[in-house]
Structure 1
């Protein structure tokens, strides 16, 4: 991650996944410049003038969806906006993670602050209040089809603005009435267009995509490190990672991964000890790490690039351009991120798939010096046999989750919305897959560390030796069977906490080790 400034100007600065997470964590403060306030006020005035003149504009003085031809009187325009929040709050399922709901608030505030949505400054400031005071609405996980925007989840997100819904505030789940009693806030009276501007947009999809980008970046980085450790444990060859090979097929991801693995193996006594062995080539799960991990890296990069466009876009409808031009279009449609999230979902699954294959390979006992099932005294002990059952189950579950949600579309709104993205499901599934991948990588970390042990007293390169020490500080070598679920739980926590990444970073800094590749700026920053 790059270093960030101390503040972020809503509607003006370029929002990235890392900046959005920093805002959600309270590490980056939100500001509204005078210029932005002016743009928001001008857009608000244009909407009020439309109502005064009585010219029909979708969602301002007409009904919604198939009711777009139903004219709404001037007196009823405010009632219309309150009603849309209530009628569209139809989400079901468990609430989404609080951080994702907070990201939704941040993304919506940034989009509204661009001054093309006809929102009032008062409403925008109330959203910012919720972000800054960590009063985060409960948002059901299911109910969005990803166009016209994430209607149901965004409706739940903004019910508290009008005194409805529930929130998490200071560790408690409260009704909005209870929040108002504690804070002296009052419900807002939404003006024309405001309800529609709040719920029309892709912020549910985009917030999930932010977490996909963050979590997948972590998994990719750790998969390279764990894969390198497994190469050492199983006496894999370093030749498949030579620059000369990848220069002939220079996909960015492949080149980046090969360079990383080669650097991790630099100075290895283990590698030198079998440099002239008779093995001609390794199984694919070792030899093709640059091709498989690299392809997933490319998918991650594609999602990251599209996500940044989305985070800095206006995705509601209609769009208020100026006094003369209001456009009812389709910028709320989630297809751009839906397809990229499905691609990322498949790419993440493949990281788990090849990891499971390396675990299986480690158990076979075909590598000199490494016993079958990674334990000397088997028979009475099952060794690491059943850990691979778990990774097989997780890898298989992920394959079932890889069916692309964006391949489906069910017409809604009486046919007015006859093609939808299902991108909300794409985002949720991608996160499910990544959570499973974290578990698979945790088990590979344990098996790689066990295989690595059998290479002693030979040492690996300084980086991998330090990683192995970090594992052994938390999980001891297994000479006989024990409750391996406890080891796995520790391993999962290490993956989630990025322990091995932190170990690499610390060692690089202390030993002044360069770890750059030609594409580090693209793959190491989000």
Structure 2
């Protein structure tokens, strides 16, 4: 499958397909036409001799410095070199591929003014696996993700470094390996390549995909915990949700009912003397549902941002709007603030908080399965025979607690402000930091959900084997047992924690459960 980058229809799922499934990308003819027209407008403005930010002026505080025509190309090259000043860990291959895909999609909207050859070089790099070495820190989220994108774009000049075919190569050698020559940038192109939100939105798109899977997997894990702790699914009844009709809450409650359908375990204690379950089980729909709604809120912004023009200045047709000459110019170049990451930053901070809460409720359910002071009588301490001699899943719960704590340490919003560029750029978003925090929270939450799945499957070993579990929870148990055998003696748990987390974010658990539930309806 080829993913068409046309500036209009890119989705988080499409980003994930390009990034993780290595799906090739293409730019359709209508998008190429827009790119060529925008370039013609840039040339028209240059011919007019008018001072236009980023075309023939300096940047930031140096905006009033006029650049002579013969040095305009040097201006763009110097921009990339000077702005490639990132620090910290290198971006992962996934992050770099997401940046490439989203930058191409923004450029082909036709408001950036680059030549078609620039787009083609980026497409070839992405399709052929030339991954620039990008430092992850340095962005302020306005004027976009400048430093990371400068590292990304520097390879187009044959400079910087890139990973290709398992080797790290100088930029010019990496381009040559896929049949490309280094580019000599022309007016506006350097600025168009780095002025945008592509590190933020690329990571946000992947976070949306993974967070959605993690919430759905948490529903599965919670349903499994409900069964093995002899909880009730009555708190997920539709009539309860109907009188507080939050969409996410209703979806999580519906999932629990589906997952536990036909459960003889739940039925076996329907008339027991327990009045209510603990909040971590009884309030599952409310908490999971609120997280689901938070992820949807981010998805909404990401889908808009993926298909937006986020650099500055933007190039429009002359009759679109002209603040200088009432629409009489052949082209209009307008400075604005579409590079500002606030629309993503706030929602990413929201996601961090929501995923922290999801991890927290999952960890509390883990504790109810392993804690001798809270367990049901049929469960042994820490889910192991000969407890005392053995520690079982004791430390798996420690790990879950540690991850929850780290997520909580991210709880202060990354959205903040430190003025830069001599005060010209006096309010920034720090959206890249928000994306880093959100990514950490999603990853940690997925691992905690994996811990709950492992403990739920282990707890099932101590449930009366004459009682059948629900259709969905049975499929979940089977999926867990594909990556972790029953715990019959103490063993190193780290590898299976990693495999259980992969079950969650890789979609394997979801596919297994959905398949089982679909079969039951046939």
The TM-score with structure 1 as length reference comes to 0.93
What's the CA shift for 1:364? Answer: 3.0
Q: Does the Cα contact within 8 Å between 1:52 and 1:74 map onto a contact in 2?
A: no
Q: Where does residue 442 of structure 2 map in the other structure? A: 434
2:394 is paired with a residue whose SS is coil
* Residues 113-122 or 467-476, more deviating: 467-476
| Distance across 1 between alignment mates of 2:412 and 2:80 | 32
Provide the residue aligned with 1:461 in structure 2: 470
Is the contact made by 1:11 and 1:114 (CA closer than 8 Å) also made in structure 2?
yes
Residue 98 of structure 1, aligned match among 76, 79, 93: 93
Is the counterpart of residue 495 in structure 1 residue 504 in structure 2?
Answer: yes
Partners of 1:354 and 1:389 lie apart in 2 by: 14
Alignment partner, residue 356 of structure 1: 363
Contact 1:63 1:71 in 2 (8 A): yes
Paired residues for 1:325-364 under 5 Å: 325-364=332-371
**Change in 2 beyond 3 A, CA 1:88/1:481:** same
State the Cα deviation string for residues 196-244 of structure 1 (Å, max 9, x = none): 0110000010011011111111211111101100000001111100000
* Cα distance in 2 for residues equivalent to 1:152 and 1:27: 25
- Contact 2:348 2:435 (C-alpha < 8 Å) held by counterparts: yes
Deviates more, 1:486-495 or 1:451-460: 486-495
Tell me the equivalent position of 1:219.
214
Pairwise CA distance, 1:181: 4.2
Query: Residue 445 of structure 1 aligns with which residue?
Result: 453
1: distance between equivalents of 2:402 and 2:221?
20
Is the alpha carbon distance of 1:471 and 1:26 closer, same or farther for their aligned partners in structure 2, counting shifts above 3 Å?
Answer: closer
Shift of 1:180: 4.0
Range that drifts further, 110-119 or 27-36: 27-36
Query: Any unmatched runs of 5+ in structure 1?
Result: 1-5, 514-526
Distance 1:138 1:486, change over 3 A: closer
Alpha-carbon offset, residue 371 of structure 1: 2.5
Q: Which residue of 1 aligns with 2:513?
A: 504
> Alignment length, in residue pairs?
507
What is the CA-CA distance between 1:328 and the residue it aligns to?
A: 0.3
CA deviation digits over 1:45-88, x for unaligned, max 9? 22112222210110101100001111111111111011100010
Q: Distance in 2 between matches of 1:21 and 1:266?
A: 32
RMSD: 1.7
- Partners of 1:32 and 1:21 lie apart in 2 by 18
- Which range moved further: 181-190 or 232-241? 181-190
Structure 1 residue 506: Cα displacement: 2.5
CA contact (8 A) 2:54 2:188 kept: yes
Per-residue CA shift, 1:84-131, capped at 9, x if unaligned? 000100011121111211111111111111111111111111111111
1:54 aligns with 2:62: no
Correspondence for 1:272 among 245, 267, 272:
267
- The offset of 1:19, in angstroms, is 1.2
Match of 1:516 in 2: none
Q: Mean Cα displacement is larger for which, 130-139 or 268-277?
A: 130-139
Deviation at 1:12, TM superposition (A): 4.9
3-state SS of 1:481 partner: coil
* Structure 2: gaps spanning 5 or more residues: 319-328
Q: State the 1:334 CA deviation.
A: 0.2
CA contact (8 A) 1:377 1:480 kept: no
Supply the distance in 2 between the matched residues of 1:382 and 1:183 (Cα, whole angstroms): 54
Distance 1:262 1:390 in 2: 29
